[in-house]
Amino acid sequence: MTMAIDFQTLTFEYRRSSDQNGDAPLHPVVVIGAGPVGLATAIDLAQQGTPVVLLDDDHTLSSGSRAICFAKRTLEIFDRLGCGEPMVEKGVSWNVGKVFLQNELLYAFDLLPEADHARPAFINLQQYYVEGYLAERARELPLLDIRWRNSVTGITQSDECVSLQIDTPDGPYTLRASYVVAADGARSPVRALMHLDAHGRTFKDRFLIADVRMKADFPTERWFWFDPPFHPNQSVLLHRQPDNVWRIDFQLGWDADPVAEKTPERVIPRVRALLGPDVEFELEWVSVYTFRCQRMDKFRHGRVLFAGDSAHGVSPFGARGANSGVQDADNLGWKLKWVIDGDAPDALLDTYASEREAAADENIRHSTRSTDFITPKSDVSRVFRDAALRLAKDCVFARRIVNSGRLSTASVLHDSPLSTPDRDAFNCVLVPGAAAADAPVFSAGRNGWFLQRTGSSFAGVLFGESSDALIALKDLRPQMKLVLIVPAGSDVKSREGIEVLEDVKGLLAQRFDAHPGTFYLLRPDQHIAMRARSLEPQTVREALARATCALNETQPV
Amino acid sequence: MMSAMLDTTLRLADPDAFYEALIDMHRDLGNDDSQLVNAKLILLLSNQIGDMTVLREAMLIARSGIAAAVAASTASV
């Protein structure tokens, strides 16, 4: 067990680096910004053996709870990075949301209606805890060099490298890197220094966040009100966080005064109206915000890759900000490693941009639609919204039109150039480009979870009790981990180079629509690269080459 | 042949895309024009449905819960 640390007041010490003495070496990767996205990227690289420098212009974690909803896919990624467990332990797990119109419950929804997944649909956890656990994990990695109070003041790049001008308490120095990841937030200084811009829509609405500390008996669910009596004509969102903290989000409208609305004299009566006169509470954190749905036209600019809020921004409805940023990190880490190690051409990094630009478009589309529903932009739009809300109690279809936020799930990388299209028929929700599904497994006398056993390399996953076909892939190790999925109770044991996992409940076979002989190739980020009803080594080699942009034109396709 | 019942389960493959298209249809229109566009849309869809039993049921659900404000004023005439 880790000792309870107050992540809100924790400060990190600036340390002088030997690079500041001049003649700095060429670093493979410098990551800028020690938020969730930068930390995740740096941890992924360092734990896979790539040295990485992580810069942050500050020396504290997130101030205020900020992003609080971390999705199942994000937790699976944090599991792979070695810090999912403390987050889930500390966080408040939830799967159920409820939507109210005025005083009346319209309907409830369950985001994870099937059992047997390692992680819940969501945990709520203050961003400073998430960053704190990531920072603790980062500290365990000798290849990860975090430099606090190092702010970037200049950036230039050539064909060979990127040069960064850094300012520190000891004065400026120059840092050189083969690649730079700019994970420096919505106001990205790197983006500004490179004279780049993000384009999109600003929404004319203001929202008040009131984080309130209190003992309350609301269930651990997401509650969303349209037009509640305690805050008429606007929406309100209620969420539980750890430490008896509750997030309340009040829609204020565009005309609200952002400074006055932050004062306790204004905030306390709003909270009091929701909770009633008898509940004791104290304000933990208050913020008034507006938002834009926007993204950079391109996430890659030469040797600089933009990830997280610097690259794209969404409305908070749907929890698609931090969660999509961590998926950026997940997508980018292995690609940087393969390119830096010389195992894949630089073009692999173009697919980081194309895959995550498409994901950002999807996130922006969902979040824009939610915002347009919550804040109608015209009279007729409001009439339709109210009509959908009034039908929702009795008519099931209308519940699917009501939109209080479409919550973050793993992006399916449709049309990815790295995916090998199906040749065989599969009948399940998984498709090439989708993140693999989880299910319970049993191995070496222990119960576990499939997604926690695939590692951070490619994984060749064969179903059935014969590993003969997998042996033909032996020379692809260590770039590929070989996994055999056997039925419950099988006496086939793991052996040199092949990990055997028992599909204890038969759910892996079901979720992957697998028969004996079915083969899946998973990317290091656990997205499906290819699958087939039988394992043909040549097809797998081609799929691996395609998934790493190494398929040259002379090879048969 | 027996008339079908109104189906209130989800039949739209992508309800969010439908709703976005519906709202987009009204872009840049004033209220009078929006009302006209909505009326035309209802007539078109009604003709497509064709089944009077289904249409009457939909009208009933659409009207339910809306108070008849006119009744009092007609009574006083």
| Distance from C-alpha of A433 to C-alpha of A523, rounded to nearest angstrom | 9
Residue written as token pair 């409830």: A108
Task: Quote the minimal CA–CA distance from B31 to chain A in Å.
Answer: 7
- Choose the closest CB to B10 out of A381, A384, A400: A400
Minimal-distance CA residue of chain B relative to A387: B62
The answer on A193 and A70 residing in a single domain is yes
| Distance from C-alpha of A176 to C-alpha of A179, rounded to nearest angstrom | 9
> Considering the domain boundaries, does residue B3 fall inside one?
no
Q: Is A378 exposed, middle or buried (0-12, 13-18, 19+ CB in 10 A)?
A: middle
Decide if A329 contacts A310 (C-beta within 8 A): no
> Considering the domain boundaries, does residue A117 fall inside one?
no
> Which residues, 6+ apart, have CB-to-CB distance to A282 below 8 Å?
A212, A213, A214
| Distance from C-alpha of A322 to C-alpha of A341, rounded to nearest angstrom | 29
DSSP string, B36-77: HHHHHHHHHHHHHH--HHHHHHHHHHHHTT---SHHHHHHT-
pLDDT higher than 50, residue A31 = yes
The answer on A301 and A286 residing in a single domain is no
- Cβ of A380 within 8 Å of Cβ of B31? The answer is yes
Residue A89, chain B, CB below 8 Å: the answer is no
Mean pLDDT of A390-406: 96
The answer on A177 and A225 residing in a single domain is no
The answer on A223 and A179 residing in a single domain is no
Crossing angle of helices A72-80 and A36-47, in 10° steps, is 40
Instruction: Please tell me whether residue A128 adopts helix, strand or coil conformation.
Output: helix
Task: Quote the minimal CA–CA distance from B23 to chain A in Å.
Answer: 6
The answer on A354 and A236 residing in a single domain is no
- Cβ of A388 within 8 Å of Cβ of B10? The answer is no
Of A316, A340, A366, which residue sits at a domain end? A366
> Considering the domain boundaries, does residue A68 fall inside one?
yes
* pLDDT (0 to 100) of residue A133: 97
Minimal-distance CA residue of chain B relative to A368: B20
Mean pLDDT of B3-31: 94
Minimal-distance CA residue of chain A relative to B38: A380
What are the tens digits of pLDDT across the range A213-264? 998 888 999 999 999 999 999 999 999 999 999 999 999 999 999 999 999 9
- Cβ of B19 within 8 Å of Cβ of A401? The answer is yes
- Cβ of A397 within 8 Å of Cβ of B9? The answer is yes
> Considering the domain boundaries, does residue B45 fall inside one?
yes
What are the tens digits of pLDDT across the range A337-354? 999 999 999 999 999 999
Domain that residue A356 falls in: 18-92+123-197+296-366
- Cβ of A388 within 8 Å of Cβ of B19? The answer is yes
Computed over every residue of chain A, the mean pLDDT equals 94
> Considering the domain boundaries, does residue B50 fall inside one?
yes
| Phi, psi for A421 (deg, rounded to 5) | -60, 150
The answer on A182 and A303 residing in a single domain is yes
Of A257, A290, A323, which residue sits at a domain end? A290
> Considering the domain boundaries, does residue A552 fall inside one?
no
A534 — pLDDT class (breaks 50, 70, 90): very high
CA A207 to chain centre: 24
Mean pLDDT of A134-160: 97
> Considering the domain boundaries, does residue B53 fall inside one?
yes
> Three-state SS across A446-476?
EEEEHHHCCCCCEEEEEECCCCHHHHCCHHH
- Cβ of A379 within 8 Å of Cβ of B9? The answer is no
* pLDDT (0 to 100) of residue B3: 55
Of A258, A290, A322, which residue sits at a domain end? A290
- Cβ of A394 within 8 Å of Cβ of B16? The answer is no
The answer on A160 and A48 residing in a single domain is yes
> Considering the domain boundaries, does residue A99 fall inside one?
no
The answer on A465 and A351 residing in a single domain is no
| Distance from C-alpha of A198 to C-alpha of A488, rounded to nearest angstrom | 51
| Distance from C-alpha of A410 to C-alpha of A3, rounded to nearest angstrom | 32
pLDDT higher than 60, residue A384 = yes
pLDDT higher than 70, residue B29 = yes
pLDDT higher than 60, residue A174 = yes
The residue among A377, A380, A394, A402 with the most chain B CBs within 10 A of its CB, best to mutate, is: A380
Q: What is the number of CB-based contacts under 8 A between chain A and chain B?
A: 50
CA A31 to chain centre: 17
Residue A382, chain B, CB below 8 Å: the answer is no
- Choose the closest CB to B31 out of A379, A384, A390: A379
Domain that residue B48 falls in: 32-64
- Cβ of B12 within 8 Å of Cβ of A397? The answer is yes
pTM of the model: 0.94
Task: Quote the minimal CA–CA distance from B20 to chain A in Å.
Answer: 7
Q: What is the ipTM of this complex?
A: 0.89
The CATH number that applies at residue A215 is: 3.30.70.2450
Other beta carbons within 10 angstroms of residue A109's beta carbon come to 17
The answer on A320 and A188 residing in a single domain is yes
Instruction: Name every chain A residue with its beta carbon within 8 A of the beta carbon of B19.
Output: 369, 373, 384, 388, 401, 403
Q: Which of A309-323, A381-395, B58-72 has the least mean pLDDT?
A: B58-72
Token pair, residue B23, equals 């709202």
What are the tens digits of pLDDT across the range A256-277? 999 999 999 999 999 999 999 9
Instruction: Name every chain A residue with its beta carbon within 8 A of the beta carbon of B9.
Output: 396-397
| Phi, psi for A87 (deg, rounded to 5) | -70, -45
Beta strands A96-101 and A281-289: pairing type? unpaired
Decide if A380 contacts B26 (C-beta within 8 A): yes
Minimal-distance CA residue of chain A relative to B27: A378
The answer on A492 and A449 residing in a single domain is yes
Q: Which of A280-294, A505-519, B57-71 has the least mean pLDDT?
A: B57-71
The CATH number that applies at residue A322 is: 3.50.50.60
Residue A115, chain B, CB below 8 Å: the answer is no
Distance linking the first and last C-alpha atoms of chain A: 51
A496 — pLDDT class (breaks 50, 70, 90): confident
The answer on A189 and A155 residing in a single domain is yes
pLDDT higher than 50, residue B1 = no
> Considering the domain boundaries, does residue B15 fall inside one?
no
What are the tens digits of pLDDT across the range A447-473? 999 999 998 999 999 999 988 889 889
The answer on A506 and A450 residing in a single domain is yes
A557 — pLDDT class (breaks 50, 70, 90): very low
Overall domain count for chain B: 1
Decide if A129 contacts A90 (C-beta within 8 A): yes
| Distance from C-alpha of A376 to C-alpha of A387, rounded to nearest angstrom | 13
Overall domain count for chain A: 3
Mean pLDDT of A403-412: 94
Residue A1, chain B, CB below 8 Å: the answer is no
